[in-house]
Copies of this chain bind each other. A is one copy, B any other.
Amino acid sequence: MSSGRGHHHEPAGAWTGHAESALRAAGHRSGGARSSVIAQLAASDCCATAQEVHDAIRASGQRVGLASVYRVLDQLVAVGAVTRVEFGDGVSRFEPAPPDGSHHHHLVCERCGVVRPFESPELERAIHGVGDRERFRVETHEVVLHGRCPDCLPKRA
């Protein structure tokens, strides 16, 4: 854990600025808790729970209240800079929403719990088609695939 050495195309740096701008545009003030949450989200590769964000911030030596983490996350979701995801375990997870509109979905291994992001233009097209057909203006969407990751797959012969 350190700075964000990008795995693919590191939108982290850009996202941080985007998030700050979006909050300021919505009339919110800057503050310590806010900076910490944004920095932590930018550093994480994928989604994290409020508790995980909080723990990571505390681990870095900063004193931030869990309630403030929730408040900042709510603001970020409200301005569209963060996406809320739920995997069915009753806990909300949060991840940066890149300003370019690109996004991914998640594969969750039911055995080891690993979460892996994936992208699929085909899937996005299908979803867009559903919105048109149902005359529903789709603003956001989440796809969660549950199953077995390669490591937890019973490898045969």
A contact residues vs B (CB 8 Å cutoff): 84-88, 90, 92, 107, 109-110, 116, 118, 120, 122-123, 125-127, 129-131, 133-150, 153
Closest Cβ–Cβ distance, residue A106 to chain B (whole Å): 10
Protomer copies: 2
The reply to whether A153 and B137 form a contact with Cβ atoms under 8 Å apart is: yes
Closest Cβ–Cβ distance, residue A86 to chain B (whole Å): 4
Closest Cβ–Cβ distance, residue A84 to chain B (whole Å): 5
The reply to whether B138 and A146 form a contact with Cβ atoms under 8 Å apart is: yes
- Given A84-B88, A136-B107, A131 contacting B145 (CB threshold 8 A): yes
Q: Which residues on B sit within 8 Å (CB–CB) of A136?
A: 107, 109, 116, 145, 147-150
The reply to whether B146 and A143 form a contact with Cβ atoms under 8 Å apart is: no
Q: Which residues on B sit within 8 Å (CB–CB) of A125?
A: 122, 126
- Given A88-B92, A139-B146, A141-B143, A122 contacting B116 (CB threshold 8 A): no
Q: Which residues on B sit within 8 Å (CB–CB) of A87?
A: 86
Which of B123, B134, B143, B150 contacts A107 (CB under 8 A)?
A: B134
Which of B122, B127, B135 contacts A145 (CB under 8 A)?
A: B127
